[in-house]
Amino acid sequence: KQEVTQIPAALSVPEGENLVLNCSFTDSAIYNLQWFRQDPGKGLTSLLLIQSSQREQTSGRLNASLDKSSGRSTLYIAASQPGDSATYLCAVRDDYKLSFGAGTTVTVRA
Amino acid sequence: DAGVIQSPRHEVTEMGQEVTLRCKPISGHDYLFWYRQTMMRGLELLIYFNNNVPIDDSGMPEDRFSAKMPNASFSTLKIQPSEPRDSAVYFCASSLLSTSGALGFGPGTRLTVL
């Protein structure tokens, strides 16, 4: 069974600092990995999707890398802003379903 | 394009009552997933469908839970009878391609069973 771990569970940084969020998974036979953002009491917003054949994906200030062989992905958020405060979840897709990590709750202090 | 639509957004019911949650996936998506989110257990997959057919329901916690997808644009998740431990946020998600497509999530239904 796929196990997805996100460390740290919570992170607090001053505005402007770069964020580094980590995700690890136990079974490297994945199809893709997806990063989501969840605001309190809200649904999940997809941020980036990385296919298993890719090494990274970028969207604006966000960059996600994937090292499938070591079972790791990292989400980088450059020049953090208070609006980046949220919980970030990574999910790996093996077979047809997504397995989620518990998330990293980020607070960006103004 | 409209995203995944769920209704109701909030549901408060009493223990023992039947609860029906509804989902309209993104048009053209051939996979539909039901997830449940709680503080204790995070996001758990309950069941998923491919082309309206249930493929894996191993995540459905008990026989009290059932799900149907009568057509490509509609799915229901039913709990009968409901219990306080069923209180959670239930998400519906859909995807276009079998394993390479991104999942789009609905806004969720917050269920409270008193």
Query: Could you report the per-residue pLDDT of B9-34, keeping only the tens digit for each?
Result: 999 999 999 999 999 999 999 999 99
Spacing of C-alpha B95 from chain mean position: 14
Chain A residues with CB inside 8 Å of B45's CB? 97-99
Is B31 in Cβ contact with A100 (below 8 Å)?
no
Minimal CA–CA distance to B44: which of A27, A2, A20? A2
Nearest to A42 by CA among B107, B45, B22: B107
pLDDT of residue B1: 59
Q: Do B103 and A42 touch (CB under 8 A)?
A: no
Mean pLDDT of B35-53: 93
Interchain CB distance below 8 Å, A32 and B100? yes
pLDDT at A47: 95
Q: What is the pLDDT of residues A26-53, one digit of tens each?
A: 999 998 999 999 999 888 999 999 999 9
Q: Which of B33, B100, B110 sits opposite A97 (nearest CB)?
A: B33
CB-CB neighbors (< 8 A) of B102 in chain A: 32, 34, 46, 49
Instruction: Determine contact: B49 vs chain A, CB below 8 A.
Output: no
Nearest CA in chain A to B106: A43
The Cα–Cα gap between A28 and A62 comes to 23
Residue A70: name the closest of A32, A30, A25, A20 by CA: A25
Instruction: State the pLDDT at residue B98.
Output: 63
Average confidence (pLDDT) over A80-97: 92
Q: Do B103 and A91 touch (CB under 8 A)?
A: yes
- Whether the per-residue pLDDT at A91 is higher than 80: the answer is yes
Q: Report how far residue A74's alpha carbon sits from residue A8's, in angstroms, rounded to the nearest whole number.
A: 12
**For B67-89, what is each residue's pLDDT tens digit?**
999 999 999 999 999 999 999 99
Query: Is B107's CB within 8 Å of A43's CB?
Result: yes
